[in-house]
């Protein structure tokens, strides 16, 4: 019974480590231009950029915090 608890703890530790790590490789993959990335247009200057890099504003999305402030005053 002691070993069973130990085994569960070890498996739990491995699971926890796996939860922490994959994000590193996934961000690398999603940064590739060929990946299924949703593109959005900056409401201020019209530049196209990945949705994950966009800044969300009240009237749409923007390429940067500066353009969000310009558009919204
Ligand atoms: Zn812009």
The domain locations on the chain are 1-32, 37-73
CA of 27 to the centre of ligand 1 (A): 23
CA of 60 to the centre of ligand 1 (A): 11
Provide the pLDDT for residue 59: 86
**Vertex 13 angle, CA 11 and 18, to 5°:** 95
String of DSSP letters for 1-65: -HHHHHHHHHHHHHHHHHHHSHHHHHHHHHTSTTS---EEE-TTT--EEEGGGPEE-SSSEESSH
Is 19 a residue whose pLDDT tops 90? no
Over residues 20-49, the mean pLDDT reads 75
pTM exceeds cut of 0.85: no
């Amino acid at each position: 019974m002691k070993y069973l608890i130990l085994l569960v703890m070890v498996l739990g530790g491995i699971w926890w480590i796996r939860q922490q790590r994959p994000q590193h490789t996934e961000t690398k993959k999603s940064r590739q231009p060929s990946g299924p990335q949703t593109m959005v247009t900056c409401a201020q200057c019209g530049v196209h950029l990945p949705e994950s890099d966009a800044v969300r504003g009240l009237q749409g999305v923007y390429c940067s915090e500066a353009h969000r402030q310009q558009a919204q005053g």
